[in-house]
Amino acid sequence: MQKVELLAPAGDLERLKIAFIYGADAVYIGGEIFGMRSAAKNFSKEDMQEGVNFAHDMGKQVFVTINIIPRNNEIEKLQDYLIELDEIGVDAVIVSDPGVFTIVKQTIPNMEIHISTQASTTNSQAANFWYNQGAKRVVMARELSFKEIKELRDNTPEDMDIEAFVHGAMCMSYSGKCVISNYTTGRDANRGACAQSCRWKYTLVEKGDEGEFKPVIDDVGPSFFFNSKDLCMIEYIPEIFKSGITSFKIEGRMKTAYYVATTVRAYRMAIDEYYRDPENWKFNPMWLDELKKGSHRDYNTGFFFNSPDANAHNYKSASYIRNYDFIGIVRGHDEENNLVVVEQRNKMNLGDEIEVIGPFKETMKTTIEEMYNEDGEPIESAPHARQIVKLKLGIEVFENYILRKPIVTINTL
C-alpha cells in the first residue's frame, strides 16, 4: 500500500519533539528569517541543529520554510542562510518564489525542494513545470477538490510528491495572497506578519446617491463575514489516500504543543487504522472528539468536495472554541515516592478529575490524588506557570504524556 507522510507544524523545539513523539513522520519549521510566520518563536541555528538531530535519530525529517516573497536586499542574505541549512542537515526547503528556487539550485544543488502552497499550484502543467525544474514535491493550492487533485496526480510523474493541507486554519484569500492585513495594520501577510484582520468584525455598507452610507443587506449588523471555519478531514482518510496525496499536512506553526500533540495523535490513529484494513476502515468519532478537545474553530471540509458556501464561515464569532485546559506535561518520575513529576501549564488542583493522553495510547481518566511541590511539601494547587509538581495519579504514565481537564463554565444567570 502507498505509504503517506503525516506532516506536522513546529513553532519551536519543544513542539518539534512533541510532534515526532506523538506520531508525525516529518515537521515543517521556520528559521529566524525568510519564513511566513514571523510572529512564531521559530528556530535559532542551535535549536534547529538539535531538532534535526532528534528527527534523524528517529528516522524522521525536517523541512524549513523559505516561502516569503523576498526583496532585492534580502536575496543577498539568502546564500549564506542556505549554506547554513545544508550544514545543519535539513531534509528539504519549502519555497514559493522562482528567484529563491534558482538560488537554492545554484547554492545547494543537492537540497530537496518543495513548492509552497503560496505558489498556487492548481493544475498538472504547473506541477510538471516545477518538477522539470528539479522540485521533488508540490504543495497543492488549498482551493482544489479531490477530483482536481486526482486529475493532477494522474498527469504528473509518480515520483513527484503531492502534499495538501488536511487540517487547520483556512485563509479567506486565494492561497494566502492577502493584502487586508497590510491595509489595516501595515503588517504584510506575504512577508510573514499577518495580523489576521479577516477575523475582525466588519460592517458592509455602500455609498448612496446623497453621500450617505447604508447597509448592503438590511437588518444585518456588524459580523465576522471574512472569518473562515477550520479545515478538518479526519472523517475522509480513504478519500485522501485515493486522491493521490502523499503528504497529509497539518496547519499551525503558531499553535501550542498541546495542539500539536492532540492533532498529530488523532490523525496518526486514523491513518494507522486505514493501514490495518483499508477495505473496512470506519471513521471513529473518538478521533474527532479528540480534535475538538484542542483549541479550534468550527470545522468544515474546505474545497475538497466542492467550492465552499456560506456555511464555510462563522459570522457570529472569531473566537476559538476551548473546552479543555492543557494543565501539564510529564517530565519524569519520583521513583522513591511513586509520584509523577509534571511541569505545570495551567492551574491544577488537588482532587481535579483529569484526562491523560500519550502517543499511540487511548485516553485515560483519573484524579489527582496527591500533590506536592518540588521540595516534596504537600500543596492544594499549582497556580504558577511552569512550576514543577509531583502528583499521585493512580495510573501508569510516561515522559511527555499530557494532562488536561475540562473547562468548567459557571452560569451566573
Nearest alpha-carbon partner for 249 in 17, 3, 12, 27: 27
- Whether residue 298 is found in the same domain as residue 155: yes
The answer to whether residue 155 sits within a structural domain is yes
Residue 319, pLDDT score: 87
**What confidence category does residue 300 fall into, taking pLDDT thresholds of 50, 70 and 90?**
very high
Q: What pairs with residue 215 in β-bridges?
A: 205
Q: Say which range, 16-20, 189-193, 255-259, 319-323, has the weakest mean pLDDT.
A: 189-193
Work out the mean pLDDT of the chain and round it to a whole number. Answer: 91
Structural domain for 355, as ranges: 324-406
| Whether residue 41 has pLDDT greater than 60 | no
Q: Does one domain contain both 296 and 328?
A: no
The answer to whether position 299 is within a domain reads yes
- The answer to whether residue 66 scores a pLDDT higher than 80 is yes
- Phi-psi domain of 192 (left: phi exceeds 0; alpha: psi -120 through 50; beta: other): left
Gap between the Cα atoms of 288 and 8, Å rounded:
17
Which of 303, 335, 363 is the endpoint of a domain?
Answer: 303
- Tell me: do 364 and 256 sit in the same domain: no
Look at residue 221 in the predicted model and tell me its pLDDT. 65
**Residues linked to residue 6 through DSSP beta bridges, in sequence order:** 248
Domain match, 260 and 334 both: no
Instruction: Report pLDDT for 36.
Output: 52
Helices in 23-145 by DSSP H: which ranges?
45-57, 72-88, 98-107, 124-133
CATH code (residue 383)? 2.40.30.10
Is residue 137 assigned to a domain? Answer: yes
Residues 298 and 332 in one domain: no
**Both 72 and 157 in a single domain?**
yes
In this predicted structure, the answer to whether residue 246 has a pLDDT above a threshold of 70 is yes
pLDDT of the residue at 218: 61
pTM, rounded to two decimals: 0.92
Does 331 share its domain with 390? yes
- Residue 203 belongs to a domain: no
Q: Are strands 205-207 and 213-215 parallel, antiparallel or unpaired?
A: antiparallel
- One domain for residues 245 and 387: no
pLDDT in tens, 175-217: 667 788 888 888 877 666 788 888 888 888 888 888 888 777 6
Tell me: do 69 and 144 sit in the same domain.
Answer: yes
| Structural domain includes residue 316 | no
Q: Is the pLDDT of residue 38 over 60?
A: no
Where residue 150 falls among pLDDT bands split at 50, 70, 90? very high
Work out the pLDDT band at 410, boundaries 50, 70, 90.
Answer: low
As a whole number, mean pLDDT of residues 278-306 equals 95
Residue 282 has φ and ψ, to the nearest 5°, of: -130, 140
Candidate ranges 60-74, 210-224, 304-318, 342-356; pick with highest mean pLDDT? 342-356
Q: What is the CATH number of the domain that holds 104?
A: 3.20.20.70
Residue 396 placed within a domain: yes
Distance, in Å, from the CA atom of 266 to the CA atom of 246, rounded to the nearest integer, reads: 18
Same domain, 160 and 291: yes
369-392 pLDDT, tens digit per residue, is 999 999 999 999 999 999 999 999
Among 303, 333, 360, the domain boundary falls at: 303
pLDDT computed for residue 408 by the predictor: 77
206 to 177, 181, 209, 334: CA distances (angstroms): 25, 22, 10, 67
pLDDT: which is higher, 313 or 96: 96
Specify whether 274 is located in the same domain as 395: no
What does the pLDDT look like over 3-12, one tens digit per residue?
899 999 999 9
Name the grid cell of 112.
Answer: 530537496
CB 90 within 8 A of CB 63: yes
CB 357 within 8 A of CB 404: yes
Number of domains in the chain: 2
Q: Which of 268, 303, 338 is the last residue of a domain?
A: 303
Name the grid cell of 178: 492577502
298 in the same domain as 335:
no
Cell 523559505 locates to 66
Contact 36, 2 (CB under 8 A): no
Per residue in 77-114, pLDDT (tens digit) is: 899 999 999 999 999 999 999 999 999 999 999 999 99
